[in-house]
Amino acid sequence: MSIHACAFCGSSGPLTGEHVLGDWLSRIGLDLEPVLHGAGPLNRIGRELGVRPPFRQKVRDVCGDCNHGWMSRLEVTAQRVLTPFILGEPGEIEVADTGRIAAWAQKTALTAMLVSSEEDRDHGYGLPTSEYRDFYTLREEACPLPVSQFWIGRYDGVRGWSVRVTPLAVRIDGIPEPDRPQGYAMTVVLGQLVLHGVRFTTPSLHAQVSTRLDLPQLWPSAGPVSWPRGIPLDDAGFLEFSGGTEFRSTEKHVELRPWKPATELAPSQAVGGMVELQAICGAHVVYYPAVLVHEAMRGQFYAFWTACECPIAYLIQTEPDGAHCIAADTTEAITEMYDALEREEYLIQDECGDFCCKRLTSSGPLRFET
């Protein structure tokens, strides 16, 4: 994708600054305290974009005609329809607006992916160029791209806003993991509102899906949509939800799952009596005793902290499918999280040295005492 061409229409005209999230959001009563912004791959530590008030992040990959034309019209509709829900006021979306709101959510996800660096995009990060061009072709149709589904629900957490896009794979019994994604999940959180969508980029593999939270379907439209309905999304379930792990396919023997190369680290490998684990910094590896793998096979799981050369510290949890990074931060912050785990601590001593870890009661998400 050329930096001199509009991502959507391909025009070589002057590029303008397009807000990832419309600046109207800064005028409806949401918290505008400066926060750290970031972007990047899901299985790596994101690139920090600085501390600033929300709703000011722009991308310079959109021409003036797109920015001030059809994209602006979508923002006007979103402001009119979504403002009450963002602020927690119940209401209803009329049939005539369901397609436009779904299109706005998809446009927001596409634009958010342009925050990535040129280096990341050169290495394959982001969505296919064709997604932007096809979306532009349908700009006056008041609907998202074909073979897309969208849902709307209530968010009950501390995030004031978030946009996440997760590549997906269609898993069919007996068929290996595909070498490229076949769709993507989109999640937009604003205030008390969450919009969630899926787009199949391989139409022949399109499957009807629903959400674990039983959210009402926004698109394809089946009539007016009242809000709020379904189970609220909280922070404990946010990452799994936005990570595309909670779609339920109506097709037997078909699953929609996150595409592993984009969402998981490279497989661990044994090195002597230790297991080598790729750190999410993307540049280093960390190690833990192989005995913890054998313990996991017996249904016993542990948490431990370690650090790489960046220096970044990590809180790691063993689970049935391997070891997973739960948090990454400074050594002080991670050791504080580890100390807050009220679990019995064990000391493993072998030829590799001493290793401390805490035994967990289950393989579920870690809970911290506050």
Q: What is the pLDDT of residues 67-91, one digit of tens each?
A: 999 999 999 999 999 999 999 999 9
Whole-number CA gyration radius for the chain = 22
- Predicted confidence at residue 1, as pLDDT, reads 41
Inform me whether the pLDDT recorded for 270 exceeds 70: yes
Q: Go through 159-172 and write b for each residue having 16 or more CB atoms within 10 A of its CB, e for each that does not.
A: ebbbbbbbbbbbbe
Give the model's pLDDT for residue 35: 81
Residues 122-126 have a mean pLDDT of 61
Mean pLDDT of 148-159: 95
> Where does the pLDDT of residue 2 fall: very low under 50, low under 70, confident under 90, or very high at 90 and above?
very low
Least confident of 158-167, 221-230, 267-276, 348-357: 267-276
Q: Which residue has the higher pLDDT, 13 or 25?
A: 25
For the residues 213-241, what does the mean pLDDT come to?
Answer: 93
Looking at the chain, the whole-number percentage of residues with pLDDT higher than 90 is 59
Mean pLDDT, range 139-160, rounded to an integer: 95
Kindly report the average pLDDT of the chain as a whole number.
88
**Average pLDDT value for residue range 323-332:** 87
Question: 261 exposed, middle or buried (CB, 10 Å; 0-12, 13-18, 19+)?
Answer: middle
Lowest-confidence pick of 75-79, 259-263, 288-292: 259-263
CB atoms within 10 A of CB 316: 23
pTM: 0.77
